[in-house]
Amino acid sequence: MDFFLNFYMNGKDLCLKHIENGVLRYSKIQLKPSLFYVDPDNSSSQFHTLDGRPLSEMQYDNVFEALKSIKTAKSSGNNDCLLFGFPKFEYTYIDEKYPGQDGIEFDPSMVKIMNIDIETECESRDYPISHKIKVRKKT
């Protein structure tokens, strides 16, 4: 059973903590995101706009190139240069890598859960420059 525990973007890389074949793994993946553009010549496309125009896929070498294209398309103001797609590319990757219609299937015994509750108190409300803070360890 394969499932992810956590993911975040670090520059152009996706940092992924996941369980693969029962083993905890940490991966750094360079995403190659896709965006879509209106292509009237591609009538057999499986992707269409809400108003029915066919779309073609354009794949980028990295996240920065895709985001730059989105920014350029927005600043042009030309409706013919619109790009379609979800700009949070890490979420589309996770959705494609770990598909599931009924939510994410996972093994609860493989997940470590911890809670830290830190309580502090301050002796003075004036907060002088050399104030002391007591930290109590709660067990």
Domain at 48, CATH number: 3.30.342.10
Which residue in this structure is represented by tokens 């979420």? 91
Checking if the pLDDT of 130 tops 80, the result is no
Checking if the pLDDT of 139 tops 70, the result is no
This prediction's pTM:
0.68
Q: What are phi and psi of 27, to 5 degrees?
A: -125, 150
DSSP letters of the chain? --EEEEEEEETTEEEEEEEETTEEEEEEEE---EEEEE-TT-TT-S-B-TT--BEEEEE-SSHHHHHHHHHHHHHH--GGG-EES-S-HHHHHHHHHS--TTS----GGG--------EEEES-SS--TT--EEEE---
**What mean pLDDT value characterizes the chain?**
84
Q: Residue 35 belongs to what domain range?
A: 3-136
| Higher pLDDT pick, 99 / 33 | 33
pLDDT tens readout for residues 53-83? 899 999 999 999 999 998 888 887 766 668 8
Checking if the pLDDT of 101 tops 60, the result is no
Q: How many domains does the chain have?
A: 1
DSSP letters of 80-109? GG-EES-S-HHHHHHHHHS--TTS----GG
Q: How confident is the model at residue 122 (pLDDT cuts 50, 70, 90)?
A: low
pLDDT at 1: 74
pLDDT at 133: 61
